Structure 1
Amino acid sequence: MASANPHKAVEIAAVLAEAMPAVKIVPRPSELGDVAEDGETLADNALIKARFVCAAAGEPSIADDTGLEVDALGGAPGVHSARYAGPEADPVANLSKLMAALGEVPPPQRTARFRTVVAVVLADGSEILADGVVEGTIATAPRGTRGFGYDPVFVPDEAAPLTFAEMSAEAKNQISHRGRALRALAGRL
């Protein structure tokens, strides 16, 4: 896996295990270093990461990039979601910036979606892309203790009034953007 994020590794492994139990997901070894996510789109970033790890490891690689698109913010943070509060920002800073940017925007106007693009690069250089989207809204305050990133404020339409962070991992994976992208990908492998 091209990500060193252990939360993503767990999510990806759980979803792919359903369709492809023989596949083993291993987070990117730290000795490979960081991969610059400087693409203009989520697909660009997913491919950058998957290509890098496949070339370095000589093994097939899977990578994803996810963006939270908030309508009241013109689609921001979007492709910059992981670095919304700056290049060295952590998830808490990103979440704080999002909540400040939304300020007094009323709940009906807090519509948003999570979008994930998953890329697989095989040892022969072939590439496969899949995407997944989940529609929802941004809560007025963080709720829940599970998940990571923007999960405490994202309320998926299909599970309202719960945020992703209030849902079990299994329930979240059934409707999440990443789960949908991974299931679409599994159908293409």
Structure 2
Amino acid sequence: MHFENDPPPGLTLASELRDGALVVHVRGELDFTAAPLLRAGLAPVWESPAGTPFVLDLGEVTFCDSVGLSELIATLRRSQSTGRTFLVSGVHGGVLRVLTITGLNNVFDLNDTVEDALLRARPLVAPEEPLASPVSAVVPQDIPADAPLSASSPTVAPVLEVRHDAPPVDPAAPVS
């Protein structure tokens, strides 16, 4: 029996690129029959450039069983192994209850809305600010230039120290 106010059974996904992040909107029930659909629907995420954060919007997910939860965990693991930032938005009702009971509400980066998640992702995609002072390199003077450097040698390779307050280094100047 299907009532007019009930969402249609099944799962639908829609993806969009917003503010430098890929947003995947999920609607319906995330259960054992829909888990493969979620996995297939996340293909654009794994095909996007590696630095692109993504938001999984669960605001219209009405149910999540253990298989659906396993698929969310698999998505988290895959995003971590590929170095992708993964944020979740819109978790509520039964889905929030399942995440809270299992303690996974502390594992996923949960955000109230897609906009909140995009704000959190923005520093990850925004260009870096220039440093307030110029950066210069200081080469240590206590290691001879002809010191042997090999994996079996006890000699440690010289470390290049980067400081913001040091005078600029002239690359043409000889190292003593």
Select the structure that is richer in helix: 1
TM-score (norm 2): 0.28
TM-score (norm 1): 0.26
Larger radius of gyration: 2
Q: Which has the higher contact order (CA 8 A, sep 6+)?
A: 1
